[in-house]
Structure 1
Amino acid sequence: MRKINWYPGHMNKAKNQIEEKLSLVDVVIEVLDARVPESSRNPVVAKLTDQKPKVIVLNKSDLADPKLTKRWKNYYENENTVVVALDSKHNSKLPELLKAIKKASAAKIEKLTQKGVVNPVIRAICVGIPNCGKSTILNRLVGKNVAVVGNKPGVTKNQNWLKVNQQIELLDTPGILWPKFEDPEVGMKLAAIGSIKETVFQFDDVALFLLDYLHSFYPKQLDKYLNTIDFDENLPELLMTMTQKFGFRDDYDRYSYHFIQQVRKLKLGQITFDYLKEVSHDD
């Protein structure tokens, strides 16, 4: 499996900016992709923000396996972290996020209140990898399109303070990856969900990874998608057969990209690519 590494200069700059702003921040909102909760946790940012109260948002939960999203939520809550599972585009759970921010910053609010501060303002910073849905969440919270959104990595370029209400201000930040993926599967997972620019990985590598993963953990969904095509342990041969059967002739690379898009668009159902060892996908 070929490794995927991508760390443009603006990401290092953004990391430094987050570090500079942390002294102004009361709580950290860490937005994770519910399909890859652990793989979308940036270890560099996690280390930087380790001493701050934290809210974890499992975003894009509509795309993930709901059973596993529930298990991941419980897992992070057992680490004494406030967790909200969210679909920022389609549902109305944002009030839960506001409550979570207040809960995570309760100690700070109490401290300020005891000092006589009326209606203390809580400042939060929103962090996450590219294309995890940070800006969509912020726009929903603020109630207008103040943060640039897009279904591709690298849309947010600057840091901006946004006023949610009289009590909460949020700092938006660009999505940040880390310099090197020690586990090559992490790179494959992030490529599969669209958090890495498509110019830095091979489509067939990711398609082959997806076939192997789906066969291992979501065999029923894969069999239904393959229809009359028998699963072949020789994955490159299987991918070539799929290329031809699904009408792409011998355009292996174009079909590989199409298959990745099919997975992203839920044509094979709600898929989670990170799993807890004690959790069975068939539970």
Structure 2
Amino acid sequence: MTIQWFPGHMAKARREVSEKIKYVDIVFELIDARLPLSSRNPMMDQIVQQKPRLILLNKGDLADREQNQKWQQYFQEKGYHTLIINAQQNKGVNKIVLEAKKALKEKIDRERSKGVKPRAIRAMCIGIPNVGKSTLMNRLVGKKIAQTGNKPGVTKGQQWLRSGTDLELLDTPGILWPKFEDQEIGKKLALTGAIKDQLLHLDDLAIYGLTFFSHFYPERLVERYKLTQEQTFLPGAELLMLISEKRGFRDDYDRASEMIIQEIRSSKLGPYTLDRWEELGVTENEN
């Protein structure tokens, strides 16, 4: 299963981000807590360069809590200010401005010493599709200004949004990168909904998801699909056929695959993290 998705509006957005980065004080990089590395666009490092950055691990409630703490520590050790948030439920959002001020403390102190009157922090929010940027923007602004949707590619333009007196936000569309060198990253993004389902082979994706859960969270499969512990060790394709039969889909593996994918995305199988902190050494060497 080869996965690629780089619509024209993403190429345009990338150019606009490069042009407008000079107007902001700090970058809010929104990533999916379920895949803290795979949901980071490697092109953004070239664009953002030395701008202060606040990494926001969104959808933290959908991710493995222990993994969340490990990844937050990882980013902090890299020198980034980091928060775990849930924009949908407005958890942790009220800490963002304070954390941004911490990240910009030297700049703010320097300007204050020169007698420069304090102004609102100007921030740019970047991230891949369907990571929750528009929802976060609406939470910060306090009303529905940014368009939202539980599908990738909803936001296609850039807009400035005002958040009280302390923050001005430049929203941007979700931007993927032109080519996934590692197709494993493509599968992870697809499983969490960052890529349009119409571009995917859902049976392959369901098998990928089932194989992951059988390895890291087999007890979830036992509970959700009424399997035995031994059955969780079956190859992914056999698991798909077994669950299809148990759910009454018979040989309709497309319907069964769609059901499994949606149940994974909606946390019917519980919180999970696809990028495993314990595999970090392997991941970093491969990238």
TM-score range, shorter chain: over 0.9
CA offsets 1:5-26 (integer angstroms, 9 cap, x no match): 1111111100000000011111
Aligned equivalents of 1:45, 1:278: Cα separation in 2: 23
Equivalent residue for 1:23?
22
Query: What secondary structure does 1:45 align onto?
Result: helix
Query: What secondary structure does 1:16 align onto?
Result: helix
The 8 Å contact of residues 26 and 108 in structure 1, kept in 2 or not, is answered as no
1:266 aligns with 2:272: no
Equivalent residue for 1:219?
218
Aligned equivalents of 1:152, 1:182: Cα separation in 2: 24
Give the CA RMSD over aligned residues: 1.4
> What is the CA distance between 1:278 and its match in structure 2?
6.2
The 8 Å contact of residues 97 and 166 in structure 2, kept in 1 or not, is answered as no
> What is the CA distance between 1:53 and its match in structure 2?
0.2
The 8 Å contact of residues 56 and 83 in structure 2, kept in 1 or not, is answered as yes
CA offsets 1:150-188 (integer angstroms, 9 cap, x no match): 110001111001111223211000000111111111111
Query: What secondary structure does 2:62 align onto?
Result: coil
2:269 corresponds to which letter in structure 1? L
Equivalent residue for 1:189?
188
Query: What secondary structure does 1:277 align onto?
Result: helix
> What is the CA distance between 1:224 and its match in structure 2?
2.1
Aligned equivalents of 1:73, 1:125: Cα separation in 2: 21
Larger mean CA deviation between 231-240 and 128-137 belongs to 231-240
Query: What secondary structure does 1:62 align onto?
Result: helix
% of aligned pairs identical? 46
> What is the CA distance between 1:232 and its match in structure 2?
5.3
Aligned equivalents of 1:237, 1:263: Cα separation in 2: 18
The 8 Å contact of residues 129 and 176 in structure 1, kept in 2 or not, is answered as yes
1:20 corresponds to which letter in structure 2? E
CA offsets 1:91-123 (integer angstroms, 9 cap, x no match): 442221111111112222222222322222321
Written as runs of structure 1 = structure 2, the 5 A alignment for 1:1-80 is: 2-80=1-79
The 8 Å contact of residues 7 and 177 in structure 1, kept in 2 or not, is answered as yes
2:241 corresponds to which letter in structure 1? M
Aligned equivalents of 2:115, 2:277: Cα separation in 1: 46
Aligned equivalents of 1:142, 1:273: Cα separation in 2: 31
Query: What secondary structure does 1:231 align onto?
Result: helix
1:234 corresponds to which letter in structure 2? P
Aligned equivalents of 1:13, 1:91: Cα separation in 2: 30
1:172 aligns with 2:171: yes
Equivalent residue for 1:83?
82
Instruction: Identify the structure with the greater helix proportion.
Output: 2
Aligned equivalents of 1:115, 1:166: Cα separation in 2: 21
For the structure 1 residues 232 and 76, does the alpha-carbon distance in structure 2 shift closer, same or farther, using more than 3 Å as the test?
Answer: closer
The 8 Å contact of residues 113 and 120 in structure 1, kept in 2 or not, is answered as no
Question: Which 5+ residue runs of structure 1 have no aligned equivalent?
Answer: none
1:255 corresponds to which letter in structure 2? A
The 8 Å contact of residues 154 and 174 in structure 1, kept in 2 or not, is answered as yes
Aligned equivalents of 2:136, 2:277: Cα separation in 1: 26
Task: Give the ranges of 4+ consecutive aligned residues of structure 1 lying more than 4 Å apart after TM superposition.
Answer: none
